[in-house]
């Protein structure tokens, strides 16, 4: 069975936020909230500066503290691609998952439930790419099955250096940043 993940080439990303805008329109994310966002990591002293731009979102971890802590079972691992999802009808908005997520990837939707990136599973199930990946003008984002060694994402991870966010949290995140 597939295990979906995302690979983002930080060499190509210009931090334009098209991924954020596309997610907003595709998923009708309410004003003031975002399911994905851009982080600028600056190191060094001018003019010897290093900047890495990261398009961040739910890491759809292999080890899921958000699912383990959910008292109602609303947070769950989906059958398709092991994508981490929230069942809005089962969610009571208790915020346990917000506290458990080391990536601050979740928010409480104004309608009262926990919300976050779904990897656009409604699109993926139709054979389309997540909205953020499909719009990216620099083509810096890749999506696919990490368990398939021939997938584009697996090939990229095999051939390039990369890192994940907070590996020390032990969550085994499935968003990878090529460097």
Where along the sequence are the contacts to other proteins (CB under 8 A)?
Answer: 9, 11-12, 14-18, 20-22, 24-26, 31-32, 34, 42, 44-47, 49-53, 134-140
CB 6 within 8 A of CB 13: no
Provide the minimum distance between the beta carbon of 108 and other proteins in the complex, in angstroms, as a whole number.
17
- Least Å distance, CB 137 to other proteins, is 5
Contact (CB, 8 A) for 67 and 91? no
Sign, CA dihedral 165-163-175-137, equals positive
Alpha carbon of residue 50 to chain centroid: 24
Q: Which is nearer to other proteins, 2 or 135 (CB)?
A: 135
Alpha helix segments (H runs only) across the chain: 18-27, 65-68, 96-100, 121-124, 131-135, 152-159
Q: Which residue, 99 or 152, has its beta carbon nearer to other proteins? A: 152
Measured CA to CA, the distance from residue 89 to residue 168 in angstroms comes to 33
**Which is nearer to other proteins, 95 or 139 (by Cβ)?**
139
Residue 47 or 127 with smaller CB distance to other proteins: 47
Query: What is the closest distance, in whole angstroms, from the C-beta atom of residue 52 to other proteins in the complex?
Result: 8
Q: What is the CA radius of gyration of the chain?
A: 16
CB of 72 to other proteins, least distance (A): 30
Q: Smallest Cα–Cα separation from 117: which of 73, 175, 57?
A: 57
Regarding beta strands 75-77 and 84-86, do their DSSP bridges make them parallel or antiparallel, or are they unpaired? Answer: antiparallel
CB of 178 to other proteins, least distance (A): 11
Identity of the residue, 48 or 79, whose beta carbon is nearer to other proteins in the bound complex: 48
């Amino acid at each position: 069975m597939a295990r979906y993940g995302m690979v983002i080439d930080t060499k190509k990303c210009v931090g334009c936020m098209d991924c954020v805008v596309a997610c907003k329109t595709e998923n009708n994310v309410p004003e003031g909230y975002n399911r994905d966002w851009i982080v600028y990591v600056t190191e060094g002293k001018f003019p010897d500066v290093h900047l890495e731009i990261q398009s961040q979102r739910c890491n759809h971890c292999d080890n899921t503290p958000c699912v383990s802590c959910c008292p109602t079972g609303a947070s769950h691992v989906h059958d398709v691609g092991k994508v981490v999802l929230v069942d809005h009808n089962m969610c009571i908005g208790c915020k346990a998952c917000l506290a458990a997520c080391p990536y601050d990837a979740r928010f409480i939707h104004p309608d009262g439930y926990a919300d976050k990136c779904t990897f656009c599973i409604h699109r993926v199930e139709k054979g389309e790419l997540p909205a953020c990946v499909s719009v990216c003008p620099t083509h810096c984002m890749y999506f696919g099955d990490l368990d398939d060694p021939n997938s584009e994402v697996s090939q990229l991870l095999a051939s390039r250096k990369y890192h994940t966010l907070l590996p020390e949290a032990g969550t085994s995140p499935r968003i990878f940043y090529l460097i």
